[in-house]
Each structure stands twice: as structure tokens, then as C-alpha cells.
Structure 1
Amino acid sequence: MINFDLTEDQIELQLRVKQFVVDKVIPFEKDPRLTSHGPTDELRVELNDLAREAGLFAPHVPTEWGGMGLDHTTLAVVFDAAGYSPLGPIALHCAAPDEANMNLLHRVATQAQKERWLKPFAAGEIRSNFCMTEPGGAGADPSGMLTKAHYDGDDFIVSGVKWLITGAKGSSFTIIFCDVQADGDKPGGPTMLISDMDQPGIKISRELDTIDNSFTGGHAEVTFENLRIPPENVLGEVGEGFRYVQVRLAPARLTHCMRWLGAARRVHEIACDYARNRHAFGKPIGEHEGIGFMLADNEIDIQQSQLMIWWTAAALDKGEKGRHESSVTKTAVSEAVFRVADRCVQILGGSGITQDTVVEWVFREARAFRIYDGPSEVHRWAIAKRILRNG
């Protein structure tokens, strides 16, 4: 049986992170450097410095690379507290896509690759992006990949287009998921390649205007035109890309849930406060069943989400793969968080659709959460396949 009681150290860390976010991070939510394409790097660096001063920087990064080296269960507590503000994960350097890319590099990269990219990356000196999704190609189904690479001697020449690439603008390097064309005795197949973003052959074609704006650098379309990548920049092995995608995505789906659960708690608290103090038809609106039931449903969704996250985190800490569990949890929590945010908008009425509170912002972010790292419908399809296969 899994014990969901927090240790004294976890409780202390949870309180430290929550207080840090409330005191130091929330005041930046109206900062002009928070743009329609996310926080600028100047704002990110300033928030990173505050987290360093508080001893809360990079909780997920192994201690050998300067992080706190926390396990998944403790990360669930910390990321939840960080997510109390959409800027909290930015401050702690544990936001997407960087958090997942750091995990991937730590688990798959060579020592030389770690020294070149992971070391400054973990320190917050540079940012990254992950190029997998394509317009009309790879996305929820990565087997539809259109970006190709062919051999030129021992080098790889990459051509294709990726889009909805989070953090592309201003990032220092990219991890490219592409289909390498076999050549004689040289292997082919789905492969991950690393490249610095300043290389000839990489162009940010356009910045995308999207519903969300909590990720540094926003989202962009990236074009590769005869990009040359040397063999030492292969991440892992040629042809093993699908395996590494799961190394990255299984824990990343879970950490998304952790962060956005914290945001759900925040907007629920705002809605509760509003329901206590706003009067209509002779009493606080929270005492009307229409509002009171929405608050109750929020509480149910939040508590169920927390239990699912902790259960999946515990499975990962026990060494279980967690791919199926993270898919179930990502689907359930993303839908629950959106329901919470949607109800909070409704409870606040006109105020809920303004930027007077963070509710409108979290609502937009939660809507996008139901799509990225696999839309809910694709996860349900995969879950159903597993159910039928296993009887």
C-alpha cells in the first residue's frame, strides 16, 4: 500500500516553495516583460536568481549538475507548490520544455554532450527546445514524421519543418526528432539529433500566436534546410528515437500535471474567496447551490488529481516504467484542471473573463494543457488499446 503521508522534510520544502512563490514570484505576474509570447529571458533570469537565493533552483536536476536531486514523489510536492503561479516553474527552472529535456540529456546523452549542453543548461545559462511536432506530420502520432536526415559522409543532413516548438526563440540548442535514411551499412530510423540553434540551416520561420503565454520564448515554427549535424551529436543511438521519446514524455506528462495542479489550487482559492464575499439574492453566492456545487466539484477534482499524481510518482520512484500510468494521469488531470478553471471563470462572472485575477490566465493555459504532450483523445485511444490487449 502506498503511503501518501508527507515527511517532515517534504512539508517544510512545500511551505518554503509556496511562500517563495507568494512573496517573490506573484508580484511579477503583471510585469511588462511577461509578453503575449511568454516571459522574456530577462525576466526568466531575474526569477532564476531569486530562486537561487532561496535555495530552490532546479529541484529536478541531479546534484552532480548543481540541482537539488529530488525524487519524483518530492517533486510532486515541489512542482505543485511552484505551479501556484504560472511563473513559479519558470523561476525554479523546472518549466517545460527545459525540465523534460534536462531529464532526457541526463539519462541518454554522452558525457561529452552533457558537458557541452547539460552543464550550462542545468545552471540556467541557456535554454533549449524539443523539435518533434510537425504541421501535417508528426505530433500525437510521431510515426507520421516528415522531417528527414540523410548521410553525407559521417554527417547527417536534416531537412523539414517543425511547429508549435515551445521556447524556440532565444534558445541555445535543439533536440531534433527526425527519420534518418539508412545508407548501406549505416543504420536508419527514428533518431534524435542535437544542434546549436545558431547553425546555418536552422530558421525560425514564424512566431505563433497561441492561447497560452506562460512559456519563455512562446511557440514557433522552425525550418531545417540542409542542416549539417556531426555524428557526435546523435543523442543515444540512430534508430532508437521512439524509445527515447518515451524516456522524455512519460515523466514529462506527470510533471505537467504537478505544475498545473498548483495553478488549479490558486484559482479555486480565488473563487472560494469571491463566493464568500459576493452577495446576490440576499446572501453570499457560495450559499446558492449552483455556486456551492461548483466549489464542491472543484474540491473533488483537485483531491482526485493529487492522489493520481502521487500514485504515479510513487510508481516511478519504485522503478516501474510508468508509461501507461502517466498517460492515464495526464488525461485525467488535464481534464480536471480545465474543469476547475472553467468553473472558476463562471463563479467570478464578469471578473472571470478579465485580467483582474489570474483566473483568466490559468483558464487559457489549462485549455492548452489538454492538447500538448498528447491530446486527451489520443491518450484514451492508447489506454483502450492496452485494456483490450490485456483482457
Structure 2
Amino acid sequence: MTHDIEVLRGKTREFIDHRVIPAEATIEAGGAAAFEAVEALKKEAKAAGLWALGHPTHLGGGGLSLYEFALLNEIIGRSEYGQQAVGSITMQDAIMLDRHGTEQQRRQWLQPMVDGAIYPSVSMTEPEVAGSDPTRIRTTARLDGEHWIVNGHKWFTTGASGAAFTTVFAVTDPDATSPHRRISAIVVPKGTPGMEIVRVIKTMGSDSGDHCEMRFTDVRVPADHVLGTRGAGFTIFQDRVGPGRIFHAMRWLGQAQRALELMVERAKTREAHGSLLADKGEIRRYIAESVAEIQASRLLTLDAARRYDQDGRASLEISLIKFYGARMLHNVIDRAIQVHGALGVSEDTPLENMYRHARYARIYDGPDEVHRMVVARKALAGETPWDKP
């Protein structure tokens, strides 16, 4: 399929800036009005041909390559609610289910998910073990006749309170020779007895309805609810989280670009000590460094997307953008707040909320330290991104 990316970028920018961003306050407030606002935006996006553009065409999506979608997602990411409005929020799970799901699983969950009728969640992280090492998870699933019996304690299961199903990663083969073959992915439908949402965890940048602590107590699901093959859970998780890290970096570009625009506008209109902020050298340094860091991160992100389109892996490039992009996001928003002064830490601009999200970015989908370790290890082994075409 041939896509006119510039046309799509223009339409997406118009939709995000003039439809989604003005609705942010309503959505943030929650309740029935928020639900109605999101549903209206989804309907508009579908009518405008902006829905699920990164999903495969055989699922009813737009079929964009990851590189092409990166050029759109930096615009979608300008709003925290952009992904929800245009249907890209389910891309990671759609890819996972499309690649590893059975025909029955795909029929039951995949198409409704792509259509935006239902939402998924994934349960991997546990409070008792380091989230950066998924081979150590303690949640178990054992076969009892024709059913899996799942027991365990999870947290930071994003979106579980509104999800139609949760993909739970659990130890099914404790005696496997490789720790990477101990885990399986098991689909647990909403409302299954024994699956309990203990609480919604309030976090920086997300006050409600987002990250859940969960307990699984003798949860019984049919044996055919395993995703992919038994013992392939680690591979499936990595298959999901790889492109997911690129999605994050794409969104961060949009957030940083929006923060830069706010910084520039403030500098051009605010006077202090006899001149506009824009005339002061320190403020110009903030702006110039922000432009440079955004563009550097942007090029790294596009390169990671291009590489992933080529080989389906891009592990070095993904680790680069994960820690560099998160730091860039923090730096740009931090400077924008500084230029706004007291206004910047108030709720009168989106910057204080963006700042809280930015801090969290250095932890989820692998902390900065792990990704720097990956890059350093590869460099020590002689692998660098500029050695590749």
C-alpha cells in the first residue's frame, strides 16, 4: 500500500491539535462526560481515515510500516489521549495476539480490540521481584486436566480495571533447563473467578484507572487459553515490548515538541528585567538545546523503527532510544517549566502533568540502567549502530 505520509501528518496534526487537545480537560476529569468525549473522538478519527493506521491491513488497519507510523505517532503523542482517540493504543497487544494467538483467540479478542470496542491488559510485573528481570516472576500456572490454575500477585497491570482480558505471564515449567523457557502467557478473561483487582495504584502522571495491583487465587481458565506455545512466554513478551519501546519514544517526541512550543511562546511574550525572555542568552540556550535534543532523539527513533521494519529486532537501537529519549523528554519539559516560572508548576498549563509522566518514562519497559547496560555490552563486543547500513 502506498501512503502519502505528508497528507496523513497534516490531517493528524489538525485532529490532535483542534479536536483532541481541546478535549483533554474533559477526559482528565473522568466520568460519563470523559467516556462520551473519547467515543466521539474515536468516531471522528474513523470518519477521517485516521483510525488504526499502524495496525496490519488484514486486521482492518492502515498497514503503515513502523517507520511510517513513527512519523505520525510523534504527532499523535502531542496529547496524552491521542493514542486512544486514533486507536493506536492497542497496537502492541494486537501485534502480539496476531502473531501468537490461536484462531479462536484471534476471533474472540483481536478484531474487537482493533475496532476499539474492547481493551487489553498485560500482567507481568510483580512487587516481590525486580521487574527488570522477568525470568524471576513467581506467579504460577499448573495444568489440572483441561484447565490452567493460576496463582500469583501482580502489580502495574496497566488498564486492567477496564480490560476485557488480561494476558498473565506465569511460570508453567519450573524445571525447564533455560529460565527463559519457564514462562507461558495465559489469557484470563474479565470476570474470571479468583482474579481480583486489589487497588488502582496512584502514580506520577496517572491518578486513577491506569495501573492495577492484582491477585490471582486458583483462577481456572481452559487449557487452550495459553498464548502461543507453552514455555514461550518470555519470547512473546519480548516480541511485544520491543516495538512498544519504539511507540513510547515516538510519543515522547510529540510531548517534547509541544513543550518546546509552549516554551517558545512564553519566551516571546513574557518580559523580565527590561526585555523579553526571548532576548536573553540563557533562554535562547534552553531553546537551542531543546531543539537539538529533540531532533537527535527523533533521528534515533526513526532509525530504530527503520531497523525494526528490516529485521524485527533492532535491540541496540531500541535500547538507545529508550534511555536517551526518556532523558530528552525530561530535559525539554524541565526547561519549559523553568521558562514559565511559577506558572509552569501550576495546573494552568499541561507542563506539570507532562513532567510527572516524563519521570515515569525512565522506569517503565525497562529502567534506563538496563538499557545503558545493553548498549555498553554491545559496544564492548564491537557492535555499534553506525556499523549497519
TM-score, length of structure 1 as denominator length: 0.92
Structure 1 segments of 4+ aligned residues over 6 angstroms from their partners: none
The 1-side partners of 2:209 and 2:5 are apart by 32
RCO comparison, higher one (Cα < 8 Å, 6+): 1
Q: What residue in structure 2 maps to residue 237 of structure 1?
A: 229
Please, which of 205, 208, 228 is the counterpart of residue 201 of structure 2? 208
> How far apart are residue 173 of structure 1 and its match?
0.4
Aligned counterparts, 1:180-195, within 5 A: 180-181=172-173, 189-195=182-188
> How far apart are residue 59 of structure 1 and its match?
1.5
- The amino acid of 2:254's aligned partner reads G
The 2-side partners of 1:320 and 1:251 are apart by 9
The 2-side partners of 1:60 and 1:320 are apart by 15
Q: Alpha carbon RMSD of aligned pairs, Å?
A: 2.1
The 2-side partners of 1:65 and 1:45 are apart by 21
The 2-side partners of 1:63 and 1:379 are apart by 32
Q: Secondary structure, in 3 states, of the residue corresponding to 1:227? A: strand
> How far apart are residue 162 of structure 1 and its match?
0.8
> How far apart are residue 41 of structure 1 and its match?
4.5
Contact 2:242–2:315 at 8 Å: present in 1 too?
yes
> How far apart are residue 300 of structure 1 and its match?
0.7
Contact 1:335–1:370 at 8 Å: present in 2 too?
yes
Q: Deviations over 1:33-59 (max 9, x none)?
A: 42489x955443232122112211111
Q: Which runs of no fewer than 5 residues in structure 2 stay unpaired?
A: 384-389
Q: What residue in structure 2 maps to residue 196 of structure 1?
A: 189
Aligned counterparts, 1:1-80, within 5 A: 9-31=4-26, 33-35=27-29, 41-80=35-74
Contact 2:173–2:183 at 8 Å: present in 1 too?
no
The 2-side partners of 1:202 and 1:41 are apart by 25
User: What percentage of aligned pairs have identical amino acids?
Assistant: 34
Please, which of 238, 244, 257 is the counterpart of residue 246 of structure 1? 238
Q: What residue in structure 2 maps to residue 179 of structure 1?
A: 171
The 1-side partners of 2:130 and 2:29 are apart by 28
Q: Deviations over 1:253-308 (max 9, x none)?
A: 00111012111101100110100110111111122122111111110111001100
Query: Is 1:83 paired with 2:77?
Result: yes
The 1-side partners of 2:371 and 2:5 are apart by 31
Query: Is 1:163 paired with 2:158?
Result: no
Query: Is 1:352 paired with 2:347?
Result: no
Contact 1:204–1:221 at 8 Å: present in 2 too?
yes
The 2-side partners of 1:389 and 1:141 are apart by 22
How many pairs are equivalent? 377
The 2-side partners of 1:251 and 1:389 are apart by 24
Aligned counterparts, 1:93-172, within 5 A: 93-95=87-89, 98-172=90-164
Q: What residue in structure 1 maps to residue 372 of structure 2?
A: 380
Q: Secondary structure, in 3 states, of the residue corresponding to 1:209? A: strand
Identify if the C-alpha distance between structure 1 residues 108 and 16 changes in structure 2 by more than 3 Å, giving closer, same or farther.
same
Report which stretch shifted further, 357-366 or 257-266.
357-366
The 2-side partners of 1:42 and 1:228 are apart by 35
Contact 1:24–1:50 at 8 Å: present in 2 too?
no
> How far apart are residue 8 of structure 1 and its match?
8.0
TM-score, length of structure 2 as denominator length: 0.92
- The amino acid of 1:11's aligned partner reads E
> How far apart are residue 249 of structure 1 and its match?
0.9
Report which stretch shifted further, 191-200 or 320-329.
320-329
Q: Deviations over 1:55-102 (max 9, x none)?
A: 11111211222211111111101111111111111101213xx32111
Q: Secondary structure, in 3 states, of the residue corresponding to 2:246? A: helix
Q: What residue in structure 1 maps to residue 362 of structure 2?
A: 370
Higher helix proportion: 2
The 2-side partners of 1:326 and 1:108 are apart by 22
Identify if the C-alpha distance between structure 1 residues 272 and 342 changes in structure 2 by more than 3 Å, giving closer, same or farther.
same
The 2-side partners of 1:141 and 1:41 are apart by 36
> How far apart are residue 388 of structure 1 and its match?
3.0
Q: What residue in structure 1 maps to residue 387 of structure 2?
A: none
- The amino acid of 1:59's aligned partner reads L
